Structure 1
Amino acid sequence: MSKLNFAAIAFAVMFSGAALAQSTDTRGACKADYDKFCAGIAPGKGQIVACLKSKRDQLSDTCKKALDSRKK
């Protein structure tokens, strides 16, 4: 395997791990808010995040911070 291919694969793995950690953090921080305000929303296409953002004024501070830390 060439050094360039290895570097590309390593970069992809590191980036996907960071994205996964970020979404896991958001899920944990917003679980209670999701259960309260968006339980009927199916995952996919950003629908849950959109639901939570539409209820922003009612969300916990922890969830607001997690949503704010997501990549825009």
Structure 2
Amino acid sequence: MRLLIVTTFTLLATMAHAQQLSRQQLMEIRTVCEADLRKLCAGVQPGGGRLAQCLQQNASSISQPCKEKLAAVRAARS
């Protein structure tokens, strides 16, 4: 569980740095996509964009709420 939390925050920090997401956006993504990260990217070493890449590679398997949240954040940044 602790590793999942660290992994999630690492992903979010990487995304925040790359995209300058707000703290609110990060928390929303973490809340909505946590189960997807746990299910699809459990064996992925955090850092270097590997978790974001994992989500991209598994895009067809990501839950609809997570897809919608990521799309909404992307749209808000445009």
Equivalent position to 1:62, from 62, 65, 68 = 65
Q: Percent identity?
A: 32
Q: Which amino acid aligns with 1:64?
A: K
Equivalent position to 1:25, from 21, 24, 28 = 28
Q: RMSD of aligned C-alpha atoms?
A: 2.1
Structure 1, 31-40 or 44-53: larger mean CA deviation = 44-53
**TM-score between both structures, scaled by the size of structure 1:** 0.61
Structure-to-structure mapping, 1:1-72, within 5 angstroms: 19-71=22-74
Task: Please list every run of 5 or more consecutive structure 2 residues that lacks an aligned counterpart in the other structure.
Answer: 1-19
1:69 is displaced (CA, Å) by: 1.9
Task: Please list every run of 5 or more consecutive structure 1 residues that lacks an aligned counterpart in the other structure.
Answer: 1-15
Larger Rg: 1
TM-aligned CA distance change 1:42 to 1:33, over 3 Å = same
For residues 36-56 of structure 1, give each alpha carbon's deviation from its aligned partner in whole angstroms, at most 9, with x where no partner exists.
011233444443222112211
**TM-score between both structures, scaled by the size of structure 2:** 0.57
